[in-house]
Amino acid sequence: MPSTGIPRKALAYWPLAVLVVVADWITKSLAVAYLEPAHIAHPFIGTIVQLTLTYNPGTAFGIPVGRGILARGALAAVVVIALIVLFSMYRKTAAGDAWLGAALGLVSGGALGNLIDRLRSARGVVDFIDVRFGAWHFWTFTVADAGVSVGAVLLAIVLWHHDKARTAGRTS
């Protein structure tokens, strides 16, 4: 395959980050437009996946952080710092490391998607994907949350493999 001159990490990072932000914004906008009133479950895939509009003023998994402009501002500042750290990691990533670029792109896109939503509304981040298996109820989430979660797992795996390769290189 001919080289485009664009680093593989960039070909993974930027499209995934943009895709997560755009898909998150579109799906949240649709959820707000079509799922009112809030907290009424709308079956999507039987009773396993339902669409239920909620607003999360807290952090991941609904962990509360307080209400008001100061709490929102503090949480936004933490997310901005995290985005700076993630982008710094991306810049230090080897040009050919598409997997690390992909992981960082997913986490960055998800964090940015939720940050945009948090700044847009005092009600909190829109959540609407509601997964249930019998009596077990997963927390309600969004495309941004999925990006952060999948990206974090991928990031852990990639960094573990990098560490394993670095350790193997020292012992040989």
Which of 24, 127, 130, 163 is the catalytic position? 127
Q: How far apart are CA 97 and CA 159, in angstroms?
A: 11
CB 121 within 8 A of CB 106: no
145 a catalytic residue? yes
Structure tokens at 11: 């070909």
- Mapping DSSP onto H, E and C, the string for the chain reads CCCCCCCHHHHHHHHHHHHHHHHHHHHHHHHHHHCCCCCCCEEEECCCEEEEEEEECCCHHHCCCCCCHHHHHHHHHHHHHHHHHHHHHHHHCCCCCHHHHHHHHHHHHHHHHHHHHHHHCCCCEEEEEEEEECCEECCCECHHHHHHHHHHHHHHHHHHHHHHHHHHHHHC
Q: Which sequence positions are flagged as catalytic?
A: 127, 145
